[in-house]
Amino acid sequence: MITFKRTLPLLGAALLATSAPAAMAEDKVFFLLPNATTIRFESRDVPFFTEALKKKAPQAKVIAQNAQGDPARQQRLVEDAITQGAKVIVYTSADANLSAGSLAAAAAAKVPVVLYDHDAVGGKAEAHVVFDSLSVGKAQGQRAAELIAKISKPMVKVARIKGNQGEYGTGQYEAGQNEFLKPLIASGKVKVVCEQYTENWDPVKAQSFAEDCLTRNKGDVDVFLGMNDGTTGGAVAALISQGYKPGQKIVTGGQDATVEALRYIAQGWQDNSVLKDLKVEANYAADVVASLLAGKGVPQNLINGKVNNKFMDVPAVFLPVSNITASNMGDVVKAGVWTWAQICQGIQKTPVCQANAK
């Protein structure tokens, strides 16, 4: 269940959020990551969060650890964090449906948990900092509908590469996409020829599914619709492995604006990615954590909704999203997420990179 109250400030206000008082010396904050396959968490979220928390709670120490896709390992990391004296645990679940033990361990030790990005089912959490998942799905569905409308065929064949089954985010992305796809399916304009959930969002499994879909349909697939840049990247890898060229098939439904996805967009392999400004997410998470360290609880002025995790309505900090295509890729650079040099590494001759070369 998702409930809204009001809209958060935009990027500028987010980055200028009032800092909470400094934490006590050696306040340990454990940032527990889900896996290494979604590369943004180690390469972007951890550095952004660490930088933001240093400004808001200078004496806090951030310790990042990765569950490597194993929920049991993640629970051991939670228990180890408690043993090491964690003051706050920032928790990105390896599997939302297998998180109850981790949340219970933290609750028993009275260590507050802040959910970051992924949901976690079946236990107590102080807050959930997340981009509005339903809005992400709607942005993906709307873009897919626009692309489908431009295809001059009586029936467009679509393959849906969904996220990890049972997660709150996956359900919301699917619901948002369906708002635009279901009318097209009902009218006969769209036929879903393949669809599958992707365990742990694994791009390799997404690629295997896409390859199998192409083979079973003898290449007669017009659109691959994913839910994040890992699932769309799997579709692109499948197309490359089967000898297709950029633009022969549409790949849409990206999310996270990873540098790899942006390169695919610049080359014409992928159409879009929903930008979730990770600096904003990290900054708000740091606001929440700094306030908890200072003994002030979760800042109520940041809460603009709630996420029901089957145990409680977790107070939510919902963040805004936007769709990135080749035509507005500069928005990612303006937001400070990536530089043109990073995006264009190895693809300098693409039109979008030539137009923005410095």
Phi, psi for 176 (deg, rounded to 5): -65, -45
Using pLDDT thresholds of 50, 70 and 90, give the confidence band for residue 357: confident
Q: What average pLDDT does the segment 70-87 reach?
A: 98
The pTM score is 0.73
pLDDT at 266 over 70: yes
* Percentage of residues of the chain with pLDDT beyond 70: 93
The residue written with tokens 């619901």 in the block is 175
> How high is the mean pLDDT of the chain?
92
pLDDT at 15 over 60: no
Q: Half-sphere exposure (CA, 13 Å, Cβ side) for 50?
A: 15
Domains of the chain listed by start with CATH number: 2-132+276-321 (3.40.50.2300), 135-275+323-356 (3.40.50.2300)
Q: Rounded to a whole number, what is the largest CA-CA distance in the chain?
A: 66
**205-258 per-position pLDDT tens digit:** 999 999 999 999 999 999 999 999 999 999 999 999 999 999 999 999 999 999
Between CA 132 and CA 122 the distance in angstroms is: 20
Between CA 318 and CA 172 the distance in angstroms is: 13
DSSP, collapsed to helix, strand or coil, labels residue 230 as helix
**Residue 39, pLDDT score:** 85
Using pLDDT thresholds of 50, 70 and 90, give the confidence band for residue 25: low
The CA radius of gyration of the chain, in Å to the nearest whole number, is 20
**121-158 per-position pLDDT tens digit:** 999 999 999 998 999 999 999 999 999 999 999 999 99
Q: What average pLDDT does the segment 288-303 reach?
A: 97
**Residue 167, pLDDT score:** 86
**36-72 per-position pLDDT tens digit:** 988 889 999 999 999 999 999 999 999 999 999 999 9
